[in-house]
Each structure stands twice: as C-alpha cells, then as structure tokens.
Chain A
Amino acid sequence: MSAEKELARPFNPRVLLVGLAVVAPLVAVLVMNLGRDPHTIGSPLVGRGAPDFALRPMGGGDPVTLASLRGKPVVLNFWATWCVPCFEEHPVLVSTARRLGDRVRFVGVIYDDSEEQVTSFLARQGASYPSLMDPGAKTAIAFGVFGVPETYFIDAEGKIAAKQIGPLDEQTLAQKLELAGVAP
C-alpha cells in the first residue's frame, strides 16, 4: 500500500521550478554560442578606428603612418618569412595588389623577423607593395595580433572593416576587400 503511494507521488511544481532555474541559463548559454567556432576569437577592434602607427619601411626611408594612407582602403598584412601559411598567401596578395593598383593600398608589417631574411624572401618571391618593420611587435600588439598571418581590412575612413586570421585565398580576399569598400 505505502509503496504504491511512493510511486504515485503528486507532481511538485517547486522541484520543477528549481530545476528550470538551474538548467535554463546553462541551456541559454549553450544555444547562444552554438554557431560559434570556439577557436576564433573575434577582434574587438572590428568596427572601430584602426590604431595609428609610424613604421620604418624595409630598406630605409621615412616612417609610414596609417594616417598618411587614409582616403583609400588599406590591407594591412602581418607576416614573417618563417611562417608557412604566409608563404602560401604571398602570391595571392602580390597579384591582387598589382591588379587593383592604386584603388587599394596594400601594406605588409613584418612580425618578429630580420630585415635581411625579408629582403631575400621578397627578392625571390616578388613584391608589389611595401613592407614595414615593427620592432618589439608594438603595432601587432596594438592591433591585437595573435600570430601570423593576420590581415586587417581598413576602409577609406580608417575604420577596421574586417579581419582575417590565417592565410588568404583569392575568394576570401575578395570578400573581405568588399567589406572594406572595394568593388570586386
């Protein structure tokens, strides 16, 4: 008799309520982040003004500032000769920069590499835009660079329109350029 009573215990809304209070926020967090790739951390700088810099170009010359490049979209590519994906994307960047001419300003920023290495790399692989030295990676830190290659697409007003982590192929490059206001 009493065992039957145990089984037919009346529904307790309190238990349900407490359970929901614990489970609901967890489920909400899970659902909210379901579509996100846990390996990519969005840059807080996208949509904001790009940090200015004054960096010496390879082979000498006056420092190049971001402010001096304003008025045209800028593609800022952080790279190094020791980085294999950088080697892979290099031809894409060089040919696209050549094709777009003065519609876009392509700029490379050297990350943790020596000037000699970069000079000989560019002599072998070709170049169509300037690369700047970034001693102490100060500019990389100001841009929130995690590792190379990383590329920032800055629109004509100096706002960071998009960021690419990892190597660029023709398609991604065209997509991100469009975000920075460059018609394909």
Chain B
Amino acid sequence: MSRRALLGPALAALAALAAASSLSAQDEPARGGDPAQVVGPPRGQAFSGKALDARTEEVGGLLRCPVCQGLSVADSPATMAVNMRSEVRELLSRGYSQEQILAYFEHSYGEFVRLEPPMRGVNWLVWGLPFLALAAGAFAVTRVLGARRAAPPAEPAPLPEPGTLPDDPELARYVRLVRQRAYGWPDGQPPEAKA
C-alpha cells in the first residue's frame, strides 16, 4: 500500500514545521518595553469594575506563573504572579485584547508563559496528534473486526483418524491417554474403531 509513500512527506512536513517555528522568533525587529510598542495600540474593549475583575481572572488563568510548578498567574500567591496579575488588570483596563496581553508576556518570557500552547508551528502536533491517533485506532479496529466478520466461521478441528497412532509404543500410550482425557474415548480408541 501507499503507507510508505505517505510517511516520507509526513516526516518532511514535521521537520519544516519545527524549522519554521524556530525561525519566526529570530527575525522580529527590536521593540521597547511599552506594551503598545510590542503589540500595537489596544484592540479590545476597556473593562472596569466587576467585569474587569472577571476578565483579569480569565486572562490570568491562561498565563503561567514563571516561578511556580504548573500554576497559572490567577491561581498563584507568588509575588511575581501578583505583579503579573496587576499588569494584566491594567492592560485590560486600558483596552488591550486577551491575545495582545498574552503576546506581550510571550514577548519577554517566551511561549512557555502561555499555559495553552498556541495553535501554530509544531504546536499543531500537540492539538492534532491525539485525534490522529484516535482515528488511526478506530481505523485499525474496524479493519480487524471487518476481516473477522468476512472470514468464514472456523470449522472445528477434525477428530483424529483411528489409525494415526505413532509407531513408538511408548509415545502411542501417551497419545491414547490424551485422547481418552480429551474426547472421553475409553482407552483412547474412537468408539467406531472399537466396534
């Protein structure tokens, strides 16, 4: 089948994805520390009051606390997380969108700071492979089940012929013993052969 033909391009695409994602970070021009210089003017809705609290919690939940073990900025009591939370809050109140805020933190901390890997480059593997594996498994299962259904029901193994005892009398004794146990033939001889 063409499975071999598929594998080559698939591996090549993987390598290209990896190369593209490592290149893209290098070519960006130098930027300043002002969020507007990094992610442009605010492109979202400016929040205040209760809505601001809720949005801060939501966006903070998408950022990794850099000094914790797998905790989000919203969940961590660490000083760094508290500072980042208030930065998120301020950016939200100034009208920066969620994607702009995540991009701003990513600019200085790297992709690591996002708790959810963004859908781009090699990250597509993280999102796509589980579904791909599921589809491959489903394909394999349907194929095996289909083949089993298509095959004619297996016929029971034929009973041994009466005259098929080995020549070796010692061996023949055991074979008769087995036949007696297995088929219930007295003395290991088929009934009709006895008759």
Q: Measuring CB to CB, which residues of chain A are less than 8 angstroms from any residue of chain B?
A: 14, 17, 21, 24-25, 41-45, 47-53, 112, 136-147, 158-159
**Interface set, chain B 89-130, CB cutoff 8 A to A:** 105-110, 112
Given contacts A52-B33, A53-B33, contact A44 B83 (CB under 8 A): no
Nearest-neighbour CB distance to chain B for A22, whole angstroms, equals: 10
Asked if residues A52 and B34 are in contact (CB atoms below 8 Å), the reply is: yes
Asked if residues A21 and B7 are in contact (CB atoms below 8 Å), the reply is: yes
Given contacts A49-B32, A53-B33, contact A43 B110 (CB under 8 A): yes
Pick the residue among B32, B66, B79, B106 that contacts A52 (CB under 8 A).
B32
Q: Would you give the 0/1 interface string for B21-64, flagging 1 where the beta carbon is closer than 8 Å to chain A?
A: 00001101111111000100000000000000000000000000
Pick the residue among B38, B83, B112 that contacts A140 (CB under 8 A).
B83
Residues of A within 8 A of B25 (CB): 44
Asked if residues A49 and B83 are in contact (CB atoms below 8 Å), the reply is: no
Asked if residues B7 and A45 are in contact (CB atoms below 8 Å), the reply is: no
A53 to B109, CA, bound (A): 17
Q: Would you give the 0/1 interface string for B1-37, flagging 1 where the beta carbon is closer than 8 Å to chain A?
A: 0011001001100100000000001101111111000
**Is B87's CB within 8 Å of the partner chain A?**
yes
A141 to B80, CA, bound (A): 9
Pick the residue among B33, B79, B80, B107 that contacts A44 (CB under 8 A).
B107
Asked if residues A14 and B3 are in contact (CB atoms below 8 Å), the reply is: yes
Residues of B within 8 A of A142 (CB): 33, 108
Given contacts A17-B7, A137-B83, contact A159 B110 (CB under 8 A): no
Given contacts A49-B31, A51-B33, contact A147 B108 (CB under 8 A): no
Main secondary structure of the interface of B (DSSP, over half): helix
Residues of A within 8 A of B79 (CB): 112, 137
A45 to B25, CA, bound (A): 10
Asked if residues B110 and A141 are in contact (CB atoms below 8 Å), the reply is: no
Closest to A42 in B: B110
A21 to B182, CA, bound (A): 47
Asked if residues B112 and A41 are in contact (CB atoms below 8 Å), the reply is: yes
Nearest-neighbour CB distance to chain A for B21, whole angstroms, equals: 13
List 22 A–B pairs whose Cβ atoms lie within 8 Å, in order of A's numbering: A21-B7, A41-B112, A43-B110, A44-B106, A44-B108, A44-B109, A45-B108, A47-B26, A48-B28, A48-B30, A49-B30, A49-B32, A53-B33, A112-B79, A136-B87, A137-B83, A138-B87, A141-B108, A143-B33, A146-B80, A147-B66, A147-B67
Asked if residues B83 and A136 are in contact (CB atoms below 8 Å), the reply is: yes
Asked if residues A146 and B110 are in contact (CB atoms below 8 Å), the reply is: no
Asked if residues A112 and B83 are in contact (CB atoms below 8 Å), the reply is: yes
Asked if residues B87 and A141 are in contact (CB atoms below 8 Å), the reply is: yes
A42 to B34, CA, bound (A): 22
Nearest-neighbour CB distance to chain A for B76, whole angstroms, equals: 13
**Is B74's CB within 8 Å of the partner chain A?**
no
Asked if residues B32 and A51 are in contact (CB atoms below 8 Å), the reply is: yes
Pick the residue among A51, A158, A159 that contacts B108 (CB under 8 A).
A51
A157 to B26, CA, bound (A): 18
Kindly name the residue among B3, B29, B109 whose own CB sees the greatest number of chain A CB atoms within 10 A.
B109
A159 to B30, CA, bound (A): 8
- Ranked nearest first, the 4 interchain pairs of A and B with the lowest CB-CB distance are A49-B30, A51-B33, A144-B108, A142-B33
A146 to B108, CA, bound (A): 10
Residues of B within 8 A of A50 (CB): 33
Kindly name the residue among A14, A47, A137 whose own CB sees the greatest number of chain B CB atoms within 10 A.
A137
Residues of A within 8 A of B4 (CB): 17
Residues of B within 8 A of A44 (CB): 25, 106-110
Residues of B within 8 A of A47 (CB): 26
